[in-house]
Homo-oligomer: A and B are copies of this chain.
């Protein structure tokens, strides 16, 4: 088999760049896709092209969807003064799977990190401060990961909001030390949300 300039080899190389896949699992995945060409490979190609064309970041909260303003931000029933701040879109999705939270979200896009040179302007922190005034937010839940960088970021945001008259809380019960939200089961997230403690 000519391994270069070969569309199968090219597909393997691209698949190997997905998180969690290496060259070997990419080869396995591609052989599986070829075996399931009609029911999996062709639909996957179409779904990827569709998402490549239609996916966009919500201009308001940073959620990923197919509209400029995501359905959560567009839902007036969610305009209840409650804002949940998360690090990544995956965390927002994890919260939504919990099904308990009925406010809106704000995706920071990461955490502050002195080591990696990530400052407040590199995250969506200015937009967060702007939204709190514009949307009449009365409570902010800092649902950041229980990591050092996550907690540093939570404290920074808490400092920024000190005189803004909003109630601050953080997820408390159920989030293990060093744990990341997207790894938790939905019930744990719900418990942590219900038992949130004021800062």
Contact = CB atoms under 8 A, between A and B. Distances in A.
A195 interface: no
Interface in A35-62: 37, 40-52, 54-55
Interface string A5-19: 011101100110111
A82 to B, nearest CB: 17
B51 A7 contact: yes
Interface string A49-80: 11110110000000111100011100000000
Nearest to A63: B1
B27 A93 contact: yes
Interface string A112-136: 0000000000000000000000000
A1 B168 CA distance: 25
Interface residues of A, number: 55
B10 A47 contact: yes
B18 A29 contact: yes
Contacts of A7: 47, 50-51, 54-55, 66
A160 to B, nearest CB: 26
Given A20-B29, A28-B20, A1 B93 contact: yes
Consensus secondary structure, chain A interface: helix
Contact of A17 (B40, B50, B96, B182): B40
A10 B70 CA distance: 17
Contacts of A1: 63, 65, 70-72, 93, 96
A157 interface: no
22 contacts: A1-B93, A1-B96, A2-B71, A3-B96, A7-B66, A8-B51, A10-B47, A11-B47, A11-B51, A19-B25, A19-B29, A20-B20, A20-B21, A24-B183, A30-B51, A31-B90, A33-B51, A34-B51, A37-B52, A42-B48, A46-B49, A48-B48
